[in-house]
Structure 1
Amino acid sequence: MLNCNPYEPCGLGFSQLLYACNDTGNTGYVTWSFMKENFRSVAAHLWKNHRWGIIQPSCLCVGPPGTLEEARIRATVAYLSGGEIDIGDDLTILPEDRWQVLLSVLPPAGSSAKPVDLFEPVLIEQLPYEDISRSGFESTAGSFREDGGNIWVLQVDAGWDSWILVGLFAWDPPRIKNGREHQITRFNIPWRLLGLNPDRKYWIYEFWSGQFLGEAPLTTRPAGYVHPGDAGKLLWGSTTDVLQVAFFGPAAKVLAIREKKPHPWIVGTSFHMSSGGELRNVAWDREERVLKGVLQRPAGQLGFIVATGLDTRLARAMVDEHPAPVHTGANSSLVIPIISKGEVTRWEIFLEKD
């Protein structure tokens, strides 16, 4: 039974499902401001999941007529909520790019993320394009501490490794300067809010783009030089206090942050938003110089896994004992395309000796 009324305590023990927001509606028709208000409401209800019942953040619609970015925002909210996922699309007409979005949240997380900025809003800045381009130095067009519900953190434990997922939501369209310039949004996220130690090194992967972002904390730029194109790295920078992430909204980013290993390792996948929760038995064999594991997905899914900590020129891969193509990805990562053969697909990455 789904409890849709605002007096939830009266229904405790009778309803298994708890509605966490207003109806989300079909994609494209609702305004960004409504989505912002609605999904922030979900953030305030996450603590109830598996305490008062199983939360449901309304139906999950990811198909047209709305944009792909809107579909990703909705899917990110649904997965990180950790509650029931109620599919709301006509699957007989769903485009392939939206199937990728939908399948990425199945199976559900089962536990909820924590909105770490709910009571402690982080500093958000608007960065001006022309000012930075001309000067080559850091500049801001204004900063503010927006109401919380923009940063959700979920712990993931896959057995072979553990990491955190950080959902970042830029709900609003970019602000406009002088009628011709969009200003990018930069989040300044304290490491302590993420539960991470900035004295350690971390590998970061962004799920929706499939982009390995490299290592953090980052080294400083030569002579402090800054360019607007630095935002293409997504990680704008970091200090011992904050992790800086810059992108244009409305959009959602999902960062998988793992502690750096002294050997080759998996940093992310495209199959599931957990960015590795669908992998099993991942292990590095130092003597044989082989990184191997098992992918658990239904047969016929096309995607990839991403590894780092290796020389891509010396790497080759096998999938179910057949040679598989590999290519170099962002920040010297290794990308291995895979088509799942069945419920279990085995993969191996071999490193030739220098």
Structure 2
Amino acid sequence: MGVEPTSARSARPDTDFEDRGAHRDPTTPAHPKNTPIWRFRQVRPRMEHECTNGRTGLRGKAAVVRFRVDEATHVLRLDGPDHPVRAHGLGAVWRWQEGEGGHLAWVELRNEGDVPLYLETVDVLTAVPSDLGGPPEAWSVYQNGWGSWTPTFSRHLDDGLYTDPGTPAYRRMHQPHWEPEVDGVISSEWVSVLVAGRSLLVGFVTAADQLGEIRVGADGSGLTARCYFDGALLTPGGSVRSEVLLVRSGPDPLALLEGWAETMGREMRARGGDEMNLVPTGWCTWYTYYGENTADDVLANLEAIGRYDLPLDVVLIDDGYQTAIGDWFSLDPDKLPEGMEPVARAVRDAGRRLGIWTAPFGAAADSRLFADHPDWFLRDEGGEPVVGWTHWGTDCYALDCTHPEVLAWLGETFRRMREAWGVEFFKIDFIFAAARPGHRHDPTGTRAQALRRGVATIREAIGDDAFLLGCGAPLGPCVGLVDGMRVGPDVDPNWHPLWRHDLSMPSTENALRNAIARAPFHGRLWLNDPDCLLVRQRGPDMDLVLNEMRTLTALVALLGGLTINSDDLTAIRPGRLKYLRQALPPTGVSARPMDLFENELPRLLVLPVEQEWGRWWVAGVINWEDRTTETTVRLEQLGLPPGRYHVYHYWRRRYLGTTDDAVTIRRHQPHETAVLILKPVSEHPDLLATTFHICQVEIADCRFEMADSNLQSATFDLHKAGRQFGEVLFTVPEGWRPAEARVDGVKRDLRFVAPGVVALGLTLEGRAVVEVGFAREQGSRGNGR
């Protein structure tokens, strides 16, 4: 089983952009009380952009407005920027100007007549992509899904379009703009990147007021960036603007996507900033009990967290505690016979935070909420309540979040949970229901505005010091309100989904595909939630084999987001907990998917890290195939500068030698992720790696000293919550030998694990000081460090 190296931010454009609707949101960023971790410094790439104009990337640019007067539909085309156009009482101006390393575009509308107008869509840009360096069949196109669970990936057009299941349930949850007559069109929500020899990004950088879609003709015939006004009423004298679109080109498509996320996060006032390094950890009831957990189950797992000294902060009670969706304070008496308060008190007494799951924008057909307030719900053209989703066989109807009484009820519900139960972590699920089409109380509101009003009401009710996690969510309108966001389908104790063609179905494979494709959003729009980490042994409720579980663990760690376990900790084999510990705490920064635009299932994740005492790279090399293969990765594919590197295989605990060219994994097993730690070669003894954390976060400080040219010492401060056995490994170049080692002042033995590599084993309980000395062999001479 050989695994061995192969040798040999731009200036703002103007105040028009500054004063967009998202900036009217009174919510100010503040980070909740989360688990503090060591500050992990990520090396971010320098982004290069080319200012896109009519000669580079697009031709035939225009904007198009569709609206209704009475029952008549009108189309207004704007062929040039800054030239007001008026038709049927609607005045429109298309703005197009340089900014943000590219161009910014939006459309301003005003009802200049004396009758109401109803706005349908605004195409902020229609154009034909050109000069991308290849024909359309050579393009790779980034497709971002509408919601948390919607498939997201980059696909080569010569591979054909993704064929979704096409069921009503799928369309309800994932296709807000579905049109049966449209064919041969790639749809991406809010942002897309077109890649051939050059790369073109088109993405909305505001999203508070309208849903935004990027459409690309599969034959390269056209590109449209569309805002959906959903038939909103524009009264005489009223004015409104579209969302702001960014058009930017550059040589690096991944950097373009990251730059778009940074711009959108700034314009929508994403919460967190530098304090996003503080990422929640926790335990969740769902993937063990699936809603059947009792108070005793929660308390038993709470006790196990303490007994195993696991650094898990949040105890999240997921779906199942309530008698019906919508009746959140009607608790199941068989599961919580004494109510929520005793459980909440036990969680607080254990020094942890209580988390609660809700699906706040819907109510079950058999709920008291629906029976008592039928006027609070969206209605279709026939006057029937709009189904948001079906929950375990029961229809859940969508609440109208433009109704003042609904907003008042939402505020009261979440304030009560915050104050009476002491909830500090709120997971709000299925929230796409607020953006379902239907007749609303406020005819001037769009679907995006309705969703944002609902989420903003919850944000205000729980306060800035509580953590708000979105799930089942249309992404754009939530930026600036949520602290975290689920970015993929549910994980699952199975690798493949039940139906392989449905990329939205629960499965570990599907969850990880989306989490990787949306890695650029992490720390820029919110904290990404890849869903729960499962490490339990294989059995009736767990079908992941060892390599699959390790892949899930490695990618959760490398992606740097929320790390929440969902195993039965009262029954897990204690040996399995080492994998959970190796992913804790989260780093807060994400590895980069280096081949996101080359492979629909990216194979290369790289986390570059630089500290005062050194730099290293942690690479995840993934085999998605169902068969063993041989994988060769060149250093330039990982983004490493030229040089020679030590390579250490984390899972196999194997030193692979040095390379200046490539690493070959000769027996890369099915669904295995090879975690490689790469460190520049030094002529002096040096730290190679540790085994306590996949990303090496436990090294709080490191000091090298040369007593003279023949003696070198190194002192390391290790800091990691919990109790864990592991090793610290050092490279010992030719001409040097290890002298002695101490842990907290006590002598320890060093052992050679490979030629030129020694290891020191220790049990880390919170903190430790490691001191290691090296001496030159007799006859060797040096010039100092």
**Residue 118 to residue 275, structure 1, CA distance change in 2 (3 Å):** same
Q: Which residue of 1 aligns with 2:471?
A: 4
Name the SS for the 1:163 alignment partner: strand
520, 524, 547: which one aligns with 1:47? 520
Name the SS for the 1:301 alignment partner: strand
Number of matched pairs: 296
756, 762, 771: which one aligns with 1:347? 771
- Map residues 1-354 of structure 1 onto 2, 5 A cutoff: 1-26=468-493, 34-65=507-538, 66-121=544-599, 147-174=600-627, 184-198=628-642, 200-217=643-660, 238=661, 242-246=662-666, 247-275=668-696, 277-285=698-706, 287=708, 288-298=711-721, 300-310=723-733, 314-340=738-764, 342-351=766-775, 353-354=777-778
Letter in 1 for 2:487: A
Runs of 5+ unmatched residues, structure 2:
1-467, 501-506, 539-543, 779-785
Q: Displacement, 1:94?
A: 2.9
Moved more, 251-260 or 287-296: 287-296
Letter in 2 for 1:186: E
Alignment partners' CA distance in 2, 1:152 and 1:53? 20
Alignment partners' CA distance in 1, 2:686 and 2:474? 48
Alignment partners' CA distance in 2, 1:39 and 1:104? 18
Q: Displacement, 1:254?
A: 1.0
* Deviation digits for residues 300-329 of structure 1 (CA, Å, limit 9, x no counterpart): 421111111346865432222222122111
Letter in 2 for 1:75: T
Cα RMSD, aligned residues only: 2.6
Letter in 1 for 2:672: A
Q: Displacement, 1:21?
A: 1.1
Q: Displacement, 1:209?
A: 1.9
Alignment partners' CA distance in 2, 1:319 and 1:347? 6
Say whether the 8 Å CA contact 1:210–1:269 is kept in structure 2: no
Say whether the 8 Å CA contact 2:609–2:616 is kept in structure 1: yes
Alignment partners' CA distance in 2, 1:243 and 1:58? 31
**Residue 349 to residue 91, structure 1, CA distance change in 2 (3 Å):** farther
Alignment partners' CA distance in 2, 1:171 and 1:307? 32
Name the SS for the 2:761 alignment partner: strand
Alignment partners' CA distance in 2, 1:112 and 1:326? 33
Say whether the 8 Å CA contact 1:213–1:331 is kept in structure 2: no
Say whether the 8 Å CA contact 1:32–1:250 is kept in structure 2: no
Alignment partners' CA distance in 1, 2:688 and 2:623? 24
Q: Displacement, 1:97?
A: 2.8
Runs of 5+ unmatched residues, structure 1:
122-146, 175-183, 218-237
Say whether the 8 Å CA contact 2:626–2:671 is kept in structure 1: yes
Letter in 1 for 2:557: Y
Q: Displacement, 1:347?
A: 2.8
**Residue 99 to residue 285, structure 1, CA distance change in 2 (3 Å):** farther
Alignment partners' CA distance in 1, 2:659 and 2:498? 35
Say whether the 8 Å CA contact 1:28–1:64 is kept in structure 2: no
Alignment partners' CA distance in 2, 1:243 and 1:329? 20
**Residue 30 to residue 282, structure 1, CA distance change in 2 (3 Å):** farther
Name the SS for the 1:72 alignment partner: helix
Alignment partners' CA distance in 1, 2:765 and 2:562? 28
**Residue 195 to residue 32, structure 1, CA distance change in 2 (3 Å):** farther
Q: Displacement, 1:89?
A: 1.7
**Residue 117 to residue 157, structure 1, CA distance change in 2 (3 Å):** same
Letter in 2 for 1:202: Y
**Residue 15 to residue 197, structure 1, CA distance change in 2 (3 Å):** closer
**Residue 203 to residue 282, structure 1, CA distance change in 2 (3 Å):** farther
* Deviation digits for residues 87-138 of structure 1 (CA, Å, limit 9, x no counterpart): 21222333233211111111101111111011134xxxxxxxxxxxxxxxxx
**Residue 84 to residue 270, structure 1, CA distance change in 2 (3 Å):** same
Alignment partners' CA distance in 1, 2:607 and 2:738? 35
Q: Displacement, 1:28?
A: 7.2
Alignment partners' CA distance in 2, 1:304 and 1:273? 12
Alignment partners' CA distance in 1, 2:769 and 2:525? 38
Q: Displacement, 1:74?
A: 0.9
Alignment partners' CA distance in 2, 1:202 and 1:210? 17
**Residue 88 to residue 114, structure 1, CA distance change in 2 (3 Å):** same
Letter in 1 for 2:762: I
**Residue 110 to residue 298, structure 1, CA distance change in 2 (3 Å):** closer
Alignment partners' CA distance in 1, 2:767 and 2:509? 37
Alignment partners' CA distance in 2, 1:317 and 1:352? 16
Say whether the 8 Å CA contact 1:117–1:151 is kept in structure 2: yes
* Deviation digits for residues 210-254 of structure 1 (CA, Å, limit 9, x no counterpart): 21211112xxxxxxxxxxxxxxxxxxxx4xxx4433322221111
Q: Displacement, 1:54?
A: 0.9
Say whether the 8 Å CA contact 2:737–2:777 is kept in structure 1: no
Q: Displacement, 1:157?
A: 2.5
Alignment partners' CA distance in 1, 2:612 and 2:589? 16
Moved more, 200-209 or 340-349: 340-349
Moved more, 343-352 or 316-325: 343-352
Name the SS for the 1:296 alignment partner: strand
Identical-pair percentage: 24
Alignment partners' CA distance in 1, 2:703 and 2:631? 33
Letter in 2 for 1:292: T
Say whether the 8 Å CA contact 2:646–2:678 is kept in structure 1: yes
Q: Displacement, 1:32?
A: 12
Say whether the 8 Å CA contact 1:57–1:78 is kept in structure 2: yes
Alignment partners' CA distance in 1, 2:615 and 2:663? 20
**Which has the larger Rg?**
2
Q: Displacement, 1:276?
A: 5.8
Normalising by structure 1, report the TM-score. Answer: 0.75
Alignment partners' CA distance in 2, 1:276 and 1:284? 22
* Deviation digits for residues 28-72 of structure 1 (CA, Å, limit 9, x no counterpart): 796797433331221111111122211100111111224332221
Alignment partners' CA distance in 2, 1:275 and 1:286? 27
Alignment partners' CA distance in 1, 2:561 and 2:596? 19
Q: Displacement, 1:277?
A: 4.6
Name the SS for the 2:557 alignment partner: helix
Letter in 2 for 1:266: L
Alignment partners' CA distance in 2, 1:71 and 1:309? 33
